[in-house]
Amino acid sequence: MARRGVIIAASRFPGRRSFERRFGVCKTQIRIIPWAALGRAVRWQRLKMMRSKVTGARRWVVKIGSALLTADGKGLDRKAMAVWVEQMVALHEAGVELVLVSSGAVAAGMSRLGWTSRPSAMHELQAAAAIGQMGLVQAWESSFAEHGRHTAQILLTHDDLSDRKRYLNARSTLRALVELKVIPVINENDTVVTDEIRFGDNDTLAALVANLVEADLLVILTDRDGMFDADPRTNPDAKLIYEARADDSALDAVAGGTGGALGRGGMQTKLRAARLAARSGAHTIIIGGRLERVLDRLKAGEHIGTLLSPERGMLAARKQWLAGHLQTRGTLVLDAGAVTALSQGNKSLLPVGVKLVQGSFRRGEMVVCVAPDGREIARGLANYSALEAQKIIGQSSDAIVGLLGYMAEPELVHRDNLILV
């Protein structure tokens, strides 16, 4: 059995100074500390903090993966779905506003078609999704109806969230459904998307939905008990990570692994989802979906799973929308001065700070801003096309008119349309 442990960001920890003296951790360091090594008072403080973040959350987004909704790949498991519904109804009755992100359409379609392995061809996956989505939604609707709850189906694509007007429409619709005490059931519209424009997995979709509805808590249910400091399938000494900040770089080294046969999302995608959700101030719980009555236990404050917390507060609404842009059209390579300026926050990117333009993009499309060593610093909406940008980079804003014959904006990317990563 895996031993339990916890990642502690010492600078954020109650009673930090005594903790540092005991474990030799300075405020800029992060170490994995065995849970049993923490004193009773420290454990109590951590547990209290954890419970308040979860039990006090008013709006939850719950993501349930394919493996938790199917019977060993043989179609939808109605009994398992009924148990999930019972727990979600209990949350609803306790005053939690709930949004469900449900995988399972492709798996359900594969079962109906008699396929035993996930196809690789896009048209076959889309056909399976089209067939399975009908059964998936019907199963959720009938199960919730037994408890007097209404559901609403929403199928999203990346274009729905990257277009500002459609994004706002989707947000308004979801807010209206939540206010009506209807439970939205969300999935990616697999039948129309392509590899170039898909979210990639429902973990990412769930994080973007959390941003969309300004959720307090994102619950990602998986086939593991949470995140571990090593792979528990191969390392019996692997320790469960109880809590960390979502942006802790120490987590990247332990988030290896891929998704199962029915789904696309491994632990890396779950960590990325937690970081996306953190942009809107949401906490994320990564937790084993096979634990008995897991949602009930979370609401009761039981200390299970891995809690990933945002480093800073909620972004402004427009920047939450920008954070949801997964598709970028080009890259701007910055000089050291521009990197420093952007890193300080609330700064626009001027042409003089850009050394190189890569890719093809139009005005208003998303571009990535990288440091000279290739690290992504920020991303934002370009005020100029790639061809225009190539002519003005390295120059002062006063020179734009002379170089182009006009000046749309003095900035290459305005601070209102730029988000640090």
- 198 vs 183: CA distance, rounded Å: 24
- 419 vs 320: CA distance, rounded Å: 9
Known binding positions for substrate: 103, 190, 202
Q: Which residues of the chain have pLDDT under 70?
A: 1-51, 73-74, 194-200, 256-265, 312-317, 324-326
Angle at 113 between CA 112 and CA 114, to 5 degrees: 95
Known binding positions for ATP: 63, 222-223
Q: Which pLDDT value is given to residue 146?
A: 97
Known binding positions: 63, 103, 190, 202, 222-223
CB-based contacts of 182, cutoff 8 Å, min separation 6: 149, 150, 151, 152
CB-based contacts of 358, cutoff 8 Å, min separation 6: 330, 331, 332, 333
- 86 vs 352: CA distance, rounded Å: 59
Q: Which pLDDT value is given to residue 8?
A: 41
96-114: pLDDT as tens digits:
999 999 988 888 898 889 8
Q: Which pLDDT value is given to residue 255?
A: 79
Six-digit token string for 227: 């995140």
64-84: pLDDT as tens digits:
988 899 887 668 999 999 999
Q: Which pLDDT value is given to residue 232?
A: 82
Q: Which pLDDT value is given to residue 12?
A: 42
Cβ atoms of 288 and 219 within 8 Å: the answer is no
Instruction: Name 99's bridge partners.
Output: 61
Q: What are the E-state strand segments in 246-335? A: 283-288, 306-309, 330-334
Of residues 330, 353, 346, 352, the one with CA closest to residue 415: 346
Domains of the chain: 56-320 (3.40.1160.10), 328-420 (2.30.130.10)
Q: Which pLDDT value is given to residue 150?
A: 97
